[in-house]
């Protein structure tokens, strides 16, 4: 871990705000923020003060390869290992692993778990707040992200935002969820250009129990320029495909083909 990451971890473990820590050290909240994000390095006297406030050694704060933690007079240290760093804090609920192999300025794997809001940043990141190519956490951001709240190219979460989003609440180009917003959306309540679900609202095509859109196919109700109510009978697939071909712009490319497939499934 960097010096900034250690200061952040120690501060959050104690439940201190940046402002509160700044007051103890005689510096501004902005200074503490810059230390924690490694935008600046505290002066030596401030490092000594931080070690005294949190009961850690200055070696722990300054040395990245050798992790030493002091809590209530007990010293915990780790053995150095050739390919990765592992860190245990005095709080038994916290565990951190960071691989030494770097890709750019990020470790290949960073796992940072505990009862606080521990952050993990790496190509593969696992933590309460995770950021990486593949991220898993309470809050996850990355190429592929999984969490309670996720943001990524592929996002899976209760609240998912991404190019492809799956969740209770999903928002993306392609979205699937209880409530879904996207160009192509599927779910209980859906909104988009092409919408499929119990209550579907699609600007181009909507298919569902209640459907509204330019081409609307509904089981109980359909509202649109071109509508069909099936009364639980299969939709007229050939007619629906003809309407999609004639009245949906070719700019939508493969979404038109997907819409035809969804009509057949419904």
pLDDT digits (tens, 9 = 90+) for 192-239: 999 999 999 999 999 999 999 999 999 999 999 999 998 777 888 999
Q: Give the position of tokens 């005294």.
A: 52
Is 31 strand, coil or helix?
A: helix
pLDDT of residue 70: 46
| pLDDT value at residue 76 | 45
What is residue 63's predicted lDDT score, i.e. its pLDDT?
A: 78
The neighbouring-strand residues paired with 216 are 206, 227
CA 131 to chain CA centroid, Å, is: 7
Report the interhelical angle of 18-25 vs 44-54 (nearest 10°). Answer: 110
Cα angle value 63/68/71 (rounded, 5°): 135
Whether pTM exceeds 0.75: no
If you average pLDDT over every residue of the chain, what do you get? 86
Of residues 18 and 86, the one with the higher pLDDT is: 18
Q: Which 8-state DSSP code applies to residue 250?
A: G
Residues 6+ apart with CB under 8 A from 71: 55, 89, 90, 91
**For residues 92 and 192, what is the distance between their CA atoms, to the nearest angstrom?**
47
Contact of 124 with 109, CB cutoff 8 Å: yes
SS3 call for 185? strand
Number of neighbours of residue 103 by Cβ within 10 angstroms: 11
pLDDT at 191 over 80: yes
The two tokens of residue 136 are 């898993």
Q: Measuring CA to CA, which residue among 70, 73, 11, 71 is closest to residue 42?
A: 11
Domain spans in the chain, listed from the N-terminal domain onward: 1-77, 80-154, 183-265
Confidence of residue 92 (pLDDT cuts 50, 70, 90): low
173's CB contacts (< 8 A; 6+ apart) are: 163, 164, 182, 183, 184
Q: Domain 1-77 falls in which CATH fold?
A: 434 Repressor (Amino-terminal Domain) (1.10.260)
Across 24-33, average pLDDT: 92
More confident call, 71 vs 98 = 98
Q: What is the model's pLDDT at position 65?
A: 53
């Amino acid at each position: 871990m960097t010096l900034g990451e250690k200061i952040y971890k120690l501060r959050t473990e104690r439940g201190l705000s940046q402002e509160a820590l700044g007051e103890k050290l005689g510096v501004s909240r902005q200074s503490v923020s810059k230390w924690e994000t490694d935008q600046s390095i505290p002066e030596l006297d401030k490092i000594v003060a931080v070690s005294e406030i949190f009961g850690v050694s200055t070696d722990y704060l300054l040395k990245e390869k050798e992790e030493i933690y002091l809590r209530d007079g007990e010293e915990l240290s780790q053995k150095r290992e050739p390919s990765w760093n592992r860190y245990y804090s005095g709080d038994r609920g916290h565990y951190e692993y960071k691989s030494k192999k770097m890709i750019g300025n990020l470790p290949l794997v960073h796992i940072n778990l505990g009862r606080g809001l521990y952050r993990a940043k790496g190509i593969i990141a696992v933590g309460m707040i995770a950021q990486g190519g593949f991220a898993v956490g309470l809050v996850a951001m990355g190429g592929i992200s999984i969490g309670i709240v996720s943001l990524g190219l592929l996002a899976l979460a209760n609240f998912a935002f991404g190019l492809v989003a799956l969740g209770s609440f999903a928002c993306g180009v392609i979205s699937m969820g209880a409530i879904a917003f996207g160009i192509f959306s599927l779910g209980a309540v859906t909104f988009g250009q092409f919408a499929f679900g119990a209550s579907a609202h699609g600007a181009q095509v909507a298919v569902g129990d209640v459907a509204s859109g330019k081409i609307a196919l509904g089981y109980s109700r359909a509202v649109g320029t071109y509508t069909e109510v099936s009364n639980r009978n299969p939709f007229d697939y050939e007619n629906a495909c003809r309407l999609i071909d004639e009245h949906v712009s070719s700019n939508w490319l493969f979404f038109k083909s997907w819409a035809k497939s969804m009509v057949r499934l419904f």
